[in-house]
Amino acid sequence: MQETSTKDSETDTKVIDEGVEKGLKGLTPEKIELVINQVLKNETGARLKLYIDTCMRCSLCADACSFFLSNDRAPEFSPAGKVKQTLHEMIRLKGKVSKDTLRNIVRIAHTECNVCKRCSMYCPFGIDIAYMILLVRRICHKLEITPLYIQDTVNSHAATMNQMWVKEDEWIDTLQWQEEDAREEFENLRIPLDKDGADIMYSVIAPEPKFQAGLIYQSAVIHHAADINWTMPSFPGWDNSNMAMFTGDYEISGRIAKAHYEAATKLHVKKIVMGECGHAFRSVFDVGNRWMGWAMPPVDVIHAIEFYHYLLTSGRIKIKDKFKETVTLHDPCNISRGRGLHDKARELVDMLCESFIEMTPNKEHNYCCGAGGGAINCGPPWKINRMVNNREKADQIKRTGAKVLIAPCHNCHSGLEDILHYYDQDMEVKFFGDLIFNAMDKTIYKGGE
């Protein structure tokens, strides 16, 4: 049991991240200077200059940041304060940054900012501070001082095109195992692999086959019952997650998104439907396409919320028993601020649950779960810091008094479970998929009825 009194002292202990330390050891002042200046000179343009030259240092962004609020308004946690300590320091020193400062910079950029873009909504000018933090991470990546655990996921992406070192046969095997299990419930259920010309390609993040295969089972049932012409790729490109996007490894990040889009085009599908994940949606819908030179995604990209909303409103899925307990909803940054799906999410809640209580602030203004932007992927060394830095979110959830928390995003899901546990809150976290699976009428939809 963690006591409140010990929580503050726990953060005082300096976290040692082996990946960062190892990287720092290999650096020379010349290399640091060279890399920083290379990135600043060759990879930035008008945006950075305008942001830096226009910020009037009014600190209105501070109140937007859950890190700032969770740390009793400590100025070093305000968005502008974080830029001051990281990017501005690099610019001010013209790249001549010491290793100790770099260690500080990595910690701030990777574990004290969720790049959730909430601060852009509090800056009167709309300065994209998350962009600047991501730029710092890009520099850290090039200096090879990215935190160990998240770098491992990137390595996995690079080697296997999925985040969790899932081998190709393991992937196919998992799908077939889920198919087999589900066939006990639905005789003819299939998880169609590589079905050419299907209406939709359904994609998930690698943790699903790795740890949460039941989620694949659930969505197979939902697809089947809704009589959707769907498929999943058996080959690399099936994973829609993208941790490289958050470490600034744009080359790998681009490859990941490209593999995903190529899987969709190879299968000649009309749409990509993505499971309940936020960062993956950001990667495919907002970031990956840009890397490949598409202003907007070349294939329609639909988040699970939109998909479920369609299934329920079109009558393809009928709800038998609404969920009884009072629920509250967490709006994941990447699909509310990132896609404006908060209203559809509320309509879904309304169709699925009997009693709903709002979390405030909400919709575009919701606080990040604290795990996003790669923060949770920095792994166990940073966990306690993440808990402490996320008090505001725990308080926000507590205020609702609900017993069930819907979080339509994998990152949020794990992050919220962590803080609920840490702050001793008795609450269950659920996906929309869980609720639909339990509440749906499990008969197969027949068109025209």
Partner 1 sequence: MNMHTFIDFIMGEMVIVSFVIFIAGTCGRLLWTFIHINKTENFIFSYLSFKYSLRSILAWLTPFLPVSSRKKPFFYSISYTFHILLFIVPIFLLSHITLFEEYLNWSWISINDTSADILTIIVILCTLFFVTRRVVVKEVKYITRTSDFVFIIIASLPFITGFLAYHQLFAYKIIMIAHVISGEIMLILIPFTRFFHMFIAPIIRAYTGSEFGNVRGAKDW
Q: Which positions touch partner 1 (CB under 8 A)? A: 44-47, 49-51, 53-60, 62-64, 68, 73, 75-76, 78, 80-81, 84, 120-128, 286, 290, 295-296, 336-341, 361, 364-365
For residue 295, the minimal CB distance to partner 1 (Å) is 5
- Of 47 and 270, the one with the shorter C-beta distance to partner 1 is 47
Query: Contact, 397 vs 359, CB < 8 A?
Result: yes
- Of 271 and 316, the one with the shorter C-beta distance to partner 1 is 271
Name the residue with tokens 């790795």.
210
- Of 126 and 315, the one with the shorter C-beta distance to partner 1 is 126
For residue 135, the minimal CB distance to partner 1 (Å) is 13
Distance CA 218, CA 114 (A): 29
Distances, alpha carbon 68 to alpha carbons 76, 334, 339, in Å: 8, 20, 25
Cβ-in-10-Å burial (0-12, 13-18, 19+) of 368 comes to buried
Q: Return the C-alpha torsion angle 365, 371, 372, 378, nearest 10.
A: 150
Query: Contact, 267 vs 199, CB < 8 A?
Result: no
For residue 46, the minimal CB distance to partner 1 (Å) is 4
- Of 62 and 405, the one with the shorter C-beta distance to partner 1 is 62
Distance CA 11, CA 6 (A): 9
- Of 120 and 328, the one with the shorter C-beta distance to partner 1 is 120
Angle among Cα 332, 334, 335 to the nearest 5 degrees reads 70
For residue 88, the minimal CB distance to partner 1 (Å) is 9
- Of 84 and 383, the one with the shorter C-beta distance to partner 1 is 84
Residue 431, both tokens? 């996906």
CB proximity list for 5: less than 8 A, separation 6 or greater: none
> Which amino acid would we find at residue 291?
W
For residue 288, the minimal CB distance to partner 1 (Å) is 13
For residue 339, the minimal CB distance to partner 1 (Å) is 6
Which one, of 257, 163, 242, 240, lies nearest residue 203 by Cα?
Answer: 240
Q: How many CA atoms lie within 13 A of 63 on its CB side?
A: 8
Residues in a beta bridge with 300: 271
For residue 382, the minimal CB distance to partner 1 (Å) is 23
- Of 297 and 379, the one with the shorter C-beta distance to partner 1 is 297
Query: Contact, 154 vs 249, CB < 8 A?
Result: yes
For residue 76, the minimal CB distance to partner 1 (Å) is 7
- Of 44 and 414, the one with the shorter C-beta distance to partner 1 is 44
Distances, alpha carbon 232 to alpha carbons 31, 217, 315, 440, in Å: 44, 13, 24, 23
- Of 290 and 320, the one with the shorter C-beta distance to partner 1 is 290
Number of H-type helices and E-type strands within the chain: 23, 8
- Of 74 and 324, the one with the shorter C-beta distance to partner 1 is 74
For residue 170, the minimal CB distance to partner 1 (Å) is 35
| Residue 361: cis peptide before it, omega within 30 degrees of 0 | yes
Query: Contact, 59 vs 78, CB < 8 A?
Result: yes
For residue 83, the minimal CB distance to partner 1 (Å) is 8
For residue 93, the minimal CB distance to partner 1 (Å) is 15
- Of 124 and 380, the one with the shorter C-beta distance to partner 1 is 124
Distance CA 182, CA 86 (A): 50
Distance CA 258, CA 63 (A): 37
Angle among Cα 261, 265, 267 to the nearest 5 degrees reads 120
Query: Contact, 288 vs 256, CB < 8 A?
Result: yes
